[in-house]
Structure 1
Amino acid sequence: MTFEEIYRQEWGQVVATLIRLTGDWELAEECAQEAFAAALQKWPSDGVPDKPGAWLTTTARNRAIDWLRREAVGAAKLRELAAIGQEPDVQYDVPDDRLRLMFTCCHPALAMEARVALTLRTLAGLSTAEIARAFLVPETTMSKRLTRAKQKIQHAGIPYRVPPAHLLPQRTPAVLAVLYLLFNEGYSDVARSNLSGEAIRLARLLVQLMPAEPEAAGLLALMLLHDARRHTRVADDGALVTLDDQDRSRWDHQQIAEGVDLLDSALSSGGAGPYQVQAAIAACHATAATAADTDWPQIAGLYAQLPQTAVVSLNRAVAIGMADGPAVGLRIVDELAEGPLADYHLLPATRADFLRRLARWPEATTAYKEALTLATTDAERLYLEKRLQEVSVRG
C-alpha cells in the first residue's frame, strides 16, 4: 500500500479520534498533519508499521499531549489522552468516531457548501488548496469558509455525535445529500473526477458504519453504476458521449455487478427510497446489452416514483419520449419550458434532440444554439457544437 493510499484511508480516522479526545478541531487536524509528516520522514528507512493507523494515531496523540501540556489544560484531559496507546495491540479502528465526524460535518445547520468542504477536509483529507481548486474559488475564500463552519459547530453547540435513533431518519439524508453532491461535482466535470472517487470511498465507509441503512447502500449502488461508465463518457477530443453512443464493452462490468448486488440487498429490506429508485434507473441502463435493449417504459415508471422536481420531470419526459416516440416527449418538454428549468441547459438540449429525431432541422438548430449558450462544461459544449453542425447542414 502506498503512502498516499494510507493517507486517504487513515486520515479521517486519526482526525476523528483526536477531535473526540481533545474537543479541538484545529488541534486535531494540526496533530494529524504532523503525524503524517513524521511517517513520511521515518517510514522510508524504518519500514511501514504493521498497523499504520495505530502508529499515526499514537503519534498524533503524543503531539496533542505536548500541545495541551504547554497550554496547561486540565489533568483529566491529559490522563484521557495518555490512556490511548498504552497497550501495544490496542485497536484504533473505531468506526463510531468517523461516523460522528461525518454527521457533524453534514449537520443541517450548516450551509451545503460548508458541509461539502468540511467533509472533504476532515474525512477525505484534501488540503484547503485542493478543495478550493475543485470548487473554483480562491484558497483564501475556502479557508474562511472552513473556519466559519468550524466556528459555527463550536459556537452553536453542534454535538460531535451520531444522532440518537429517533433523529437518524431526519439527519441521514443530509449526509447522503452531501456525498451525492460531491459525486456529481466530480462526475459532471472530468477535471474534478477525484471528487467522485472520494464520494464513493466515503459512501463505502458509510455503508460499513450503517449496514442497516438501505438508502446508504442505494446511494453507493447509484454511484458505482454511474461511475462504471466514466471512461466512455468523453471522446478523445473532449466531447461528451451520450449513452446511445458509448462503447459498452469498456464499461466496468465488475463494478456494475457490485452496484446491482448492493441495490438488490437494499431493496430486499422493503420500501425503496429515492436513491434506491435512482440506482434502479441506473441499473436499467448499465445492464442493457445495447442501447436498443434499454427498457424505457420501466425507466419512465421508476421516474414516476421519485419526487417530481423539475429535473426529475425532465428526465421522465426523456424516458417517455424514448418509449412512446419523440413527439410525445417533445410535448411534455414544451410544457416544462415555462417553469424553473428556463435557464437549465438540458431543457433546450432535450428539445433539440427530440426535434432532431423528428427531422425538424431549423427548430433543432435553434434549440441547440440555445443549449450551447447555457452549457456549463467544455465536454457538453463540444457535444452540442457537433450536434449543431449536423442539424445545421440538414436544415
Structure 2
Amino acid sequence: MAFRLSTGVLGGVRQAFLSGRVGASAPLARRMASTKTMTVRDALNSAMAEEMDRDDDVFIIGEEVAQYNGAYKVTKGLLDRFGERRVVDTPITEMGFTGLSVGAALKGLKPIVEFMSFNFSMQAIDQVVNSAAKTYYMSGGTQKCQIVFRGPNGAAVGVGAQHSQDFSAWYGSIPGMKVLVPYSAEDARGLLKAAIRDPNPVVFLENELLYGESFEVSEEALSTDFTLPYTAKVEREGSDISIITYTRNVLYSLQAAEILEKQYGVSAEVVNLRAIRPMDINAIIKTVKKTNHVITVESTFPSFGVGSEIVAQIMESEAFDYLDAPVKRVTGADVPTPYAKELEDFAFPDPDVIVNAVKSVLSIE
C-alpha cells in the first residue's frame, strides 16, 4: 500500500447511513449569486451540497471528509449541514470503504466516494472496475450502480512518484465507466452535478493545484439546476492549429496560445475535452477540419495515453483527410515523477513546451 500520513483525526466508519431517511428536507443549497467568480474548491463543494439537498440518497464517504472538512477542504461544512449519516469518515482502507460504497449503490443509494489521491484508488481497483463498472452489463441491464469516485488526480508539487500518477487513460479504457476531467469552476460544478445524477459509475478526476484557482462563472452556472453535458468546450477560437487538452493543461495551453499569437502571429484554438470517456470525437473532428493542424497536451506518460487515443480517432475518421501535418503529442516524461522540484518541473508540459510543439508542427523556426 502506498504510504501516507493522516492529516487529521480519522473517525471510525459510521454505518447509520445504511438505514433510515431524513424526515424533513434540508434547507435549499446556498447559492453564490453575489459573486461572478468562484474557486474550483467552492464549485465542487456547492455542487455536492446542492445534490445532497436535492436527493436524500446521496452521501459522501472517505478519509477525513467529515470532521476534518476534507484533506483539501472540498467537503468543508458538509458534516455540520448534513450530519454524520450522510458525511462519513472512514479509516485508511480504500478497499473497505469503496466496497461498502459499491454495495450501497447496488442497493439504491448514491455514494460520492472521495479518494484522498487517485493513486490510492489502486487499493480498490477491483471494486471500481469489476464491481462498479461491469455489473450493469453482467446483469443484463437489471442492476445499476450509481456512484461517483472523485478526488485529486495527477501530480501536485513534491509529493513523489507514488502520489503523482494521472489515471485518465487507465480508467478511460474501461467499458461501463465514465471519466470526467474538469478544468474551470464552471466545469467542476456542472460536471459534478451531472455525474451525481448519472445512473452509471463515474470517475471524476480533479486537479489539486486547481482547487484554489478562481474562475468567472455565469449566472446560469449558479443555478441549482445547472449541469453540463459530457462534451468538449472550445476555450479559445483559432484558425491555424488546434491544441486538444484537458484539466490543468488547459491553462498552460491558453498561455501558450497567447505567446504564439503575440510572438509568431499564430492563431491557436484550445479545446478543453472535459470528458475522457465518452470522448467527444465530433468536437475533435470539427476542430481538425477547421485548423488542419493538431497537437495534444497531457501530463500522463507518453505510452498508451489520452493523446494516443485522440490520434487514433483522427486517423480512423474523415478528419485524417484534413490534416496538413502529422499530429504531435505533448506528454509527461516517461519516468516515475521525480520528487525534486527542479526535475519535477522538467517532467511535465508547460507553456514553452507547448509553444515549441506548435512551432514544430507548423514548421516555424
Structure of higher CA gyration radius? 1
* Alignment TM-score, normalising by the size of structure 1: 0.29
Greater length-normalized contact order (CA 8 Å, ≥ 6 residues apart):
2
Please report the TM-score for the alignment, with normalisation by the length of structure 2: 0.31
Query: Larger % of helix: which?
Result: 1
